[in-house]
């Protein structure tokens, strides 16, 4: 596989997002199946694994550590802090954004234990906590670098302005943001800011949360997803928005056939085509889809196909916001004008 720079590391152009091993979409894998998938990815040459304290409230990190710790020298390990599960007085664990230095340090120590490693290669601030200056959170991450507990710093879902403020405190190796044909927000400012600063743009949900892989064409309503599926609360998968998006999906699938690839491969190849500092991290729960995704690294798209793709799927043709109103307040990424 082609390699690309992820901060100081060279990794395969396509990595593996480890969120949906235990969290977010559909039913989670059993622990043995998740570990088999992780080992299959390693055997296929995946060298970039991305997890977070939030995913399954530590379950994803635990699975990654259990499966991959014996092979630690073979891959670049990324995880995230600043958004975690906190148990309330009612005994229920809930998602909390906390960018205080003491919370970042605590989460890192817990992550190192779960991941069964002495150092995390790339450690992201999962969300900017607006109650804490970005300089304070990045300062805490910089201290972890000095202590040798992490090797490089990343940010997730931040604006170009926040990125520059953070980078002035300590070099930022990567920004992770949702980026795909149907989510183009990084093109407003962050993609170029990353290029200027020498940071990678790590594209999460590069398959449009399964939509661009043809994984949800028969879903008539968001309620068709299982109860804990995040897509139930996302406007693009609801009502008239979903119906509108389904109308261009057939033409998108036809373009994939013309390009002699699958819809998922088309979406990933498009991202790799856009710029050399973009690294997509699709997730999956099957070895078959893993093989399909990794094969996209060898595809080359014609300029004609790219132009027709971008005319078909863009902010003007995709219906619905990517997050609901409550979640939207938690991110700092630039948004297109309504």
Q: What residues contact residue 50 under an 8 Å CB cut-off, 6+ apart?
A: 15, 16, 17, 18, 78, 79, 176, 202, 204, 281
Q: Residue 142: its pLDDT value, please?
A: 98
Q: Residue 58: its pLDDT value, please?
A: 95
Q: Residue 92: its pLDDT value, please?
A: 83
Report the CATH number that the domain containing residue 100 is assigned in CATH. Answer: 3.20.20.100
Report residue 142: phi and psi, to 5°. -60, -35
Domain with 14, as residue range(s), is 3-209+274-299
Q: Residue 220: its pLDDT value, please?
A: 56
Using CA atoms, how far apart are residues 159 and 177, in angstroms rounded to an integer? 10
Q: Is residue 177 a contact partner of residue 203, using CB atoms and an 8 Å limit?
A: yes
258 inside domain: no
144 token code pair: 């972890």
Using CA atoms, how far apart are residues 315 and 218, in angstroms rounded to an integer? 23
Q: Is residue 182 a contact partner of residue 202, using CB atoms and an 8 Å limit?
A: no
337 inside domain: no
179 inside domain: yes
pLDDT tens for the 338 residues of the chain, in order: 899 999 999 999 999 999 999 988 888 899 999 999 999 999 999 999 999 999 999 999 999 999 999 999 999 999 999 999 888 888 888 899 999 999 999 999 999 999 999 999 999 999 999 999 999 999 999 999 999 999 999 999 999 999 999 999 999 999 999 999 999 999 999 999 999 999 999 999 999 999 999 877 555 566 678 878 889 899 999 989 999 999 999 999 999 999 999 999 999 999 999 999 999 999 999 999 999 999 999 999 999 999 999 999 999 999 999 999 999 999 999 999 86
139 token code pair: 């300062």
Domain count, the chain: 1
Using CA atoms, how far apart are residues 144 and 147, in angstroms rounded to an integer? 5
Cα-based distances in Å from 102 to 105, 141, 144: 5, 11, 11
pTM of structure: 0.96
Number of residues that make up the chain = 338
243 token code pair: 């119906």
Give the angle subtended at the CA of 191 by the CAs of 308 and 322, to the nearest 5°. 70
Residues assigned a catalytic role: 55
Using CA atoms, how far apart are residues 53 and 133, in angstroms rounded to an integer? 21
157 inside domain: yes
241 inside domain: no
Q: What residues contact residue 224 under an 8 Å CB cut-off, 6+ apart?
A: none
253 inside domain: no
Using CA atoms, how far apart are residues 110 and 20, in angstroms rounded to an integer? 20
Using CA atoms, how far apart are residues 270 and 263, in angstroms rounded to an integer? 11
32 inside domain: yes
Q: What residues contact residue 304 under an 8 Å CB cut-off, 6+ apart?
A: none
237 inside domain: no
């Amino acid at each position: 596989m082609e390699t690309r720079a992820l901060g100081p590391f060279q990794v395969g152009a396509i990595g593996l997002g480890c969120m949906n091993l235990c969290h977010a979409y559909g039913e989670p894998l059993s622990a043995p199946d998740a570990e088999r998938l992780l080992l299959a990815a390693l055997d296929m040459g995946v060298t970039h694994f991305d997890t977070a304290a939030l995913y399954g409230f530590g379950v994803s990190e635990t699975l990654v550590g259990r499966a991959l710790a014996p092979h630690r020298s073979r891959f670049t390990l990324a995880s995230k802090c600043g958004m975690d599960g906190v148990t309330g007085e009612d005994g229920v664990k809930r998602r909390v954004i906390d960018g205080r230095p003491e919370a970042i340090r605590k989460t890192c120590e817990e992550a190192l234990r779960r991941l069964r490693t002495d150092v995390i290669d790339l450690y992201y601030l999962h969300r900017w906590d607006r109650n804490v200056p970005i300089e304070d959170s990045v300062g805490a991450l910089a201290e972890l670098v000095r202590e040798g507990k992490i090797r490089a710093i990343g940010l997730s879902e931040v604006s170009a302005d926040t990125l520059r403020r953070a980078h002035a405190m300590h070099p930022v190796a990567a920004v992770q943001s949702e980026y795909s044909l149907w989510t183009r927000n990084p093109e407003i400012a962050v993609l170029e800011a990353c290029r200027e600063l020498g940071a990678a743009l790590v594209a999460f949900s590069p398959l449009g949360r399964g939509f661009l892989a043809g994984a949800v064409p028969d879903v008539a309503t968001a309620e068709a997803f299982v109860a804990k599926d995040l897509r139930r609360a996302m406007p693009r998968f609801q009502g008239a928005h979903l119906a509108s998006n389904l109308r261009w999906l057939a033409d998108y699938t036809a373009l994939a056939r013309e390009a002699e690839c699958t819809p998922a491969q088309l979406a990933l190849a498009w991202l790799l085509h856009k710029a050399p500092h973009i690294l997509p991290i699709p997730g999956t729960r099957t070895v078959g889809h893993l093989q399909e995704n990794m094969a996209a690294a060898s595809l080359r798209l014609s300029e004609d196909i790219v132009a027709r793709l971008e005319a078909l799927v863009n902010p003007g043709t995709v219906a619905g916001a990517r997050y609901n109103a409550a979640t939207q307040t938690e991110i700092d990424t630039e948004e297109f004008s309504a």
